[in-house]
Amino acid sequence: MLKFLSIKNFAIIENVEIDFSAGFNVITGETGSGKSILIDALLLLLGERASLDIIRPPASKAVLEASFETNNNEKIKEILDENEIEFFDEILIRREISAKGSRNFINDSAVSLNVLKNIGNMLIDFHGQHDNQILLNPEKHIELLDLFGSYDDITKDYKQVYSELNTTISQLQNLIKKEKELKQNLKFLKFQFDEIMKVNPIENEDELIENELNIIENSELLHNSTAEIYENLYNSDNSAFNLLANIQKSLGNLNEIDNSFSGYVEELKSAITVVKEIASFAKTYNDKIDFSPERIDELRNRIFLINTLKKKYGSIQEILALKSKLTIELDSIENFDYEIEQLNVKINQLKKELKIIALNLSNVRKEKAIILSEQIKKLLMNLGINYPNFYADFKFNEVNENSLKVIEIDGRKTEFASNGIDTVEFYFSANQGESPKPLSLVASGGEISRLMLSMKTILADKTDFPTLIFDEIDTGISGRIAQKTGIAMKNLAMNHQIIAITHLPQIAALGNLNIVVNKIEQAGKTYTNAKILTVDEKLMEIAKMLSGESISDSAVESAKELINFA
C-alpha cells in the first residue's frame, strides 16, 4: 500500500507531499492542473524510463520518493535479499534524475533500474484510459481468461512439455543444419583427414626424430669417444681399472699392518665398481651405434612430412586434436540419419502428450470462460448496462503450412503456441436484441471503461497487487452510471488500496480520502500543489465540480446528498 509520496522539481511540480490512506483515495482538480502528473511521477519512481525535460527549471535534478507497506510480501523480500537489501514491512523508494543520469534507491541502498521496476510491478497495478486497449487487443484476451481461471497446474504441465518440444525441435533443426554444413564440406574434411592419416604422426614424434637424428649425425664422434672411454677405463694394460686394481692390492697389504687404511679400502672398491659400470655402458653404447645412411634419409624424410603438416595445422598436439575432431565429424555424418530419426520419434511422442494436455486445457478454459462471462454480465448490470451480453469465442490456432509444431484436430491443422492451441476473443453487446461482436467493433469509450473496471474487479483477488490506480477510467460516463462506477471502485477498495483520478463529483463523493490538485500562477511561474481535504473542504470541492467556480446553494445541497449517499 502506498503511504507517502514526495515529488520535487518534477514537470510543473516544485514540491508536493501527499499522505495516502487505505481504502478509496480520490484525486480531483481542474483540467490541466496536474492530476495525471502525480501518477506520471509515481510511475517514473517505480521504474519507467526518464528524460531530462521532466526536471523543473532551474533545478538541477528531480527527486521522487515514496514509502510502501509491503505486508511481508515474500516475492519482494526475495528480490531485496538477492540484492542484499534489508527487508522491512515498510520500504522507502527514492529516485533522483539529473543530467548525470538516474540514481535509484530502496531503503537507502542503490539499485539498478531493472530491480526498481521489478519491485514496482509488485506494488502497483496501473490502469489509465490507454489500458482499455488491452480489451481491444484479442491477443490479450487469453491472458485475462487464464488469470481468472487459476488452472496453474494444467498450464504448468503444458509449458513444461511445450518447452521440451521446443528444445527437441531446436536439436533436430541444429542437427539438420550441421548435417547440411558437414556434407557441403565433406570433400574438404576427407581431404584434411586423408592428408593427416598419410603421415599419421604420434605424440612428440618430431622431438623423438630430432633426438635420433642428432645422435646418428654425430655417430662417428660418439663411436670414437665411447671406444676411447672403454679402452682407457678397462681394456688397455694401463687402464684405470688395472691401475686401481694394483692400488687395491697395496691398500690391502697396508690395511693388514694398520687398520686405519680400512675405510679407504672400501672407497676404492666403490670407485672400481663405478669405473667398471662406465666402461660397460660405453662398450654397450658403442656396439649399438648404427652408421646407416639409409636410416638418416628415412628420418629426414619423415621429419619433412611432419613439418609440412605442422605448417598447415599447427603443433603435433593440434594436428592430433584435429584428427580426433575430423574422425568424430566424419563418423557423425554416417550417424545423422539415425539421430534425426530418433529426434523425430521423440518429437511425435511429445506432440501426442502435448495434444492431450492442450485439449484438456482448452476444455477447462471453456468452462471457466462461462463463469467469467456470467460474473462480467452481473457487474456490468450493476454499472448501468442493463442487457449486457459477453462471452469468450474459442478457435484453434489453425494454420495452412506444415511445421514441427502442427498437429491435426478434427482434420484441421492446429499449431501449438506457448499458451496452448486456443485463440480466444471476447465478444460483447450492450443492448437488448443486439448480436455480440468483437469488442473492438462494438464498445464505446464509456462501455469499455466499465467493462475494464469489471474485469479488474474480478481479477483483483487473483493478483498480489496491494494498490490499484485508475487514471480517469470514468471517461465517457456521467450521472447515475458514474455513481455506480464509483461504487464498484469503492467496493474494490474494501480489499485493495484504490487511487482514482476523476472529474466526476459522483465518484469524488465516495472517497475515503480526497485530494485536490491546483495549478497556481505566481510571479510569472506555474506551480502545482496537492492538498488533502477536510470534511468541509470536500463538500465545497464536490459542489464546485457540480456548478463551477460560482458555487450555488443548490450545488452545496447536491454535494451533501452525494456525500451522504456515500
Q: CB–CB of 470/500 below 8 Å?
A: yes
Predicted confidence (pLDDT) per residue in 353-391, tens digit? 999 999 999 999 999 999 999 999 999 988 888 899 999
* DSSP helix/strand/coil, 213: helix
CA dihedral 130, 131, 135, 138 (to 10 degrees): 80
- 411 Rama class: left (phi>0) / alpha (psi -120 to 50) / beta: left
Q: Which residues of 452-490 are buried (b: 16+ CB within 10 A; e: fewer)?
A: bbbbbbbeeeeeebbbbbbbbbbbebeeebbbbbbbbbb
Predicted confidence (pLDDT) per residue in 479-507, tens digit? 788 888 888 889 888 888 999 888 889 99
Residue spans of the domains in the chain: they are 194-313
Mind giving me the DSSP string for 505-560? HHHHTT-SEEEEEEEEEETTEEEEEEEE--HHHHHHHHHHHHH-SS--HHHHHHHH
pLDDT at residue 304 above 60?
Answer: yes
So what's the pLDDT on residue 205? 87
CA angle 142, 145, 148 (to 5 degrees): 150
In the sheet with 389-396, reading across from the earlier edge strand, the strands are 389-396, 422-429, 437-438
So what's the pLDDT on residue 376? 93
pLDDT at residue 159 above 80?
Answer: yes
Give the Cα separation of 489 and 478 in Å (integer): 15
CA angle 40, 41, 42 (to 5 degrees): 90
CA-CA-CA-CA torsion sign (57, 60, 66, 72):
positive
pLDDT at residue 335 above 80?
Answer: no
Least confident of 55-64, 136-145, 285-294: 285-294
pLDDT at residue 30 above 60?
Answer: yes
- C-alpha 508: how far from chain center: 43
When pLDDT is cut at 50, 70 and 90, the band that residue 129 belongs to is low
pTM: 0.63
Taking residues 181-187, report their average pLDDT.
75
Least confident of 66-80, 219-233, 505-519: 219-233
What is the rounded average pLDDT for all residues in the chain?
A: 86
Where do we find the cell 538516474?
102
Give the residue with greater pLDDT, 454 vs 472. Answer: 454
pLDDT at residue 251 above 60?
Answer: yes
pLDDT at residue 132 above 70?
Answer: no
* DSSP helix/strand/coil, 290: coil
pLDDT at residue 443 above 70?
Answer: no
What percent of the chain lies above the pLDDT cut of 90? Answer: 31
Give the residue with greater pLDDT, 164 vs 31. Answer: 164
